Amino acid sequence: MGIVILEAAPERVVGTMPVEGNTQPMGLLHGGASAVLAETLGSFGAVMHGSTIGRPLAVGVDLNATHHKGLRGGTVTGVATPVHLGGTIATYDIVITDEKGDRVCTARLTCLLRGA
């Protein structure tokens, strides 16, 4: 997938992913690749939050994604920010943009937090 994490904290996770190598047969960024980026970033945040409360294992229980724009090249950037950081559930909004800052995908991930 080529995901690179640039910033990671429970309150904000930022990462990039190349479009090349992550396309569907029509040559556009695959929606599943956007979902992988979103779940990766949200899960990083959830694990980091869970680690502060003794529940460091995050298991995704819901992921939804709305695809706004197709891309044929370049790099996308995702930013995950928390909607809810609880004792057993963490939910993140993830916004994925292209190199011009245009929104490509909006996703939401909810993770169950479990103990080790």
Over the range 41-53, which residues count as b (16 or more CB within 10 Å of their CB) and which as e? bbbbbbbbbbeee
pLDDT tens sequence for the chain (116 residues): 999 999 999 999 999 999 999 999 999 999 999 999 999 999 999 999 999 999 999 999 999 999 999 999 999 999 999 999 999 999 999 999 999 999 999 999 999 999 98
pTM of this structure: 0.97
Residue 116: predicted pLDDT: 84
Write down the catalytic residue from 7, 11, 20, 39: 39
Residue 77: predicted pLDDT: 99
CA distances from 52 to 46, 81, 113 (A): 10, 17, 11
Residue 21: both structure tokens together = 């190598």
CA distances from 21 to 3, 17, 68, 72 (A): 11, 10, 20, 10
Geometric angle at alpha carbon 11, from 74 and 49, rounded to 5°: 115
Phi and psi at 54, nearest 5°, equal 75, 20
Residue 65: predicted pLDDT: 98
Q: Is 39 a catalytic residue?
A: yes
